[in-house]
């Protein structure tokens, strides 16, 4: 149990009034959680302070060597007046798996969850009210040694900030076009693909920008060795429905193990679908598409929940999926999952955690 010292702001900000213009991660609340680590001392001084910039040495290790890890989750305002979180235990565990890979000291899962819940409860008035809006929670940790030596740092800062965020889809689920990247790679076996670390994103921005210039919203990554098997999309896992069966890449080290991904797999199995986690060749997807057997493609992630895909571009050819509208399963998964997350349906899975009364 952390002994969290709370210092409240004396200058609270005005909360956004137009919740249709929140966007994502642009506005932050009044407070932040901070905790520090020093070698020999462990994690210390857990506290909530007024939201403020960090003062860092220009030689801080994270700025040079990117020893950093983050998480992404949401707090939801339920119709019956509660603030909810979705499977925070999964994020706490994944955070530590990421930390372990980046040589960052781990944080006990119960402390990670306590820190998130305490901050969210303090900021509960920042959880927006409009349909499909939420308070995005961004925990992160970074190396803050003052010096340029390359080694695991001795000093770390763990921080949580929260951002009221808008409905991802303003007008219903909008299918997207995806660019299959066959030149650059995101990761490879032995690298950091399974870790949620900033470095993975740094390496992927160039492809994302190129795809956007061509009119595609995100990149679909292929495996780093043969450039043959589909892995995941930008910040989402990806699923294919072929001949009534559901396929997604296995989490064997190169794919980020999404919380939405594992929830969707469970829901699909509940609905009676066969779910195959394995190696899926991009050529086989193209073939299934040409033969009319590719029924649906969708991404999964905390931000969008479900993101239907209407088109894949691979080696100069556009593969259209269905008639370009949202697949039946995509819509059903979106409805089922968001009903659970926003507390509109009883949680028979034990996935929802109540933070506080709203
Ligand atoms: C966060 C993330 C996902 C989705 O994970 P969720 O836990 O479902 O939000 C997928 N891929 C990458 C690369 C990510 O960073």
Q: Tell me the pLDDT tens digit for each residue of 209-235.
A: 999 999 999 999 999 999 999 999 989
pTM: 0.97
User: Mean pLDDT, the chain, as a whole number?
Assistant: 96
Check residue 173 and give its pLDDT: 82
CATH architecture for the domain at 176-326: Alpha-Beta Barrel (3.20)
Whether 171 shows a pLDDT value over 70: the answer reads no
Q: What residues have CB less than 8 Å from 278, skipping those under 6 apart?
A: 247, 249, 250
Q: Residue 119 belongs to what H/E stretch?
A: helix 109-122
* DSSP at 186: S
Instruction: Give me the pLDDT at residue 177, please.
Output: 94
Domain spans of the chain, in order of start: 5-165, 176-326
3-state helix, strand, coil in the chain (%, to 5): 25, 35, 40
b (16+ CB within 10 A) / e for 25-54: eebbbbbbbbbbbeeeeebeebbbbeeeee
Q: Above 70 in pLDDT, residue 8?
A: yes
CA–centroid distance, residue 217 to ligand 1 (Å): 16
Q: What is the largest CA-CA distance in the chain?
A: 64
Strand, helix or coil for residue 143: strand
CATH code given to domain 5-165: 3.30.470.10
3-state secondary structure of 99: helix
Phi, psi dihedrals of residue 119, rounded to the nearest 5°: -65, -45
Q: Best of 302, 303, 334 to mutate for ligand 1, by most ligand atoms within 8 A of CB?
A: 302
Please give the average per-residue pLDDT across 334-355, as a whole number.
96
Indicate the pLDDT class of residue 324, thresholds 50, 70 and 90: confident
CB 194 within 8 Å of CB 256: yes
CA of 258 to the centre of ligand 1 (A): 5
Shortest-distance Cα residue to atom 13 of ligand 1: 235
Strands 176-181 and 42-50: unpaired
First to last CA, the chain: 23
Report pLDDT digits (tens) over 63-92. Answer: 999 999 999 999 999 999 999 999 999 999
Where do the H-state alpha helices sit in 177-218? 198-213
CB-ligand 1 contact for 208 (6 Å cutoff): no
Cβ–Cβ < 8 Å for 92, 75:
no
Domains 5-165 and 176-326 share a fold: no
């Amino acid at each position: 149990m952390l002994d969290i010292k709370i210092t409240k702001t004396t200058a609270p900000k005005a909360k956004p009034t137009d919740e249709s213009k929140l966007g994502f991660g642009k506005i932050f609340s009044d407070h932040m959680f901070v905790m520090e680590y020093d070698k020999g001392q462990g994690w210390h001084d857990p506290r909530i302070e007024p939201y403020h910039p960090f003062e860092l040495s220009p030689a801080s290790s994270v700025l040079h060597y990117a020893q950093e890890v983050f998480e992404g989750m949401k707090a939801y305002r339920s119709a019956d007046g509660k603030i909810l979180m979705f499977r925070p235990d999964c994020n706490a565990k994944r955070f530590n798996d990421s930390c372990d890979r980046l040589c960052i000291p781990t944080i006990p899962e119960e402390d990670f969850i306590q820190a998130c819940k305490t901050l969210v409860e303090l900021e509960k008035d920042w959880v927006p009210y409009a349909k499909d809006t939420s308070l995005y929670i961004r925990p992160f940790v970074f190396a803050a040694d003052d010096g340029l030596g390359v080694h695991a740092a001795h000093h770390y800062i763990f921080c949580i900030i929260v951002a009221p965020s808008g409905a991802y889809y303003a007008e219903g689920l909008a299918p997207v076009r995806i660019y299959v990247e066959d030149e650059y790679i995101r990761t490879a076996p032995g690298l950091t693909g399974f870790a949620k670390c900033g470095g993975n994103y740094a390496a992927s921005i160039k492809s994302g920008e190129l795809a956007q210039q061509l009119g595609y919203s995100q990149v679909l990554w292929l495996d780093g060795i043969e450039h043959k098997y589909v892995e995941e999309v930008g910040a989402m896992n990806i699923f294919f429905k072929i001949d009534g069966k559901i396929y997604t890449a296995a989490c064997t080290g190169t794919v980020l193990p999404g919380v939405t991904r594992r929830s969707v797999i469970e829901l699909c199995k509940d609905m009676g679908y066969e779910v195959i986690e394995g190696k899926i060749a991009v050529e086989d997807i193209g073939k299934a598409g040409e033969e009319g057997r590719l029924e649906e493609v969708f991404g999964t992630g905390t931000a969008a929940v479900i993101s239907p895909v209407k088109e894949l571009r691979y080696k100069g050819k556009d593969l259209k999926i269905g008639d370009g509208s949202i697949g039946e399963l995509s819509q059903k998964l979106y409805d089922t999952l968001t009903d659970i997350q926003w507390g509109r349906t009883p949680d028979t899975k034990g996935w929802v955690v109540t933070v506080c009364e709203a």
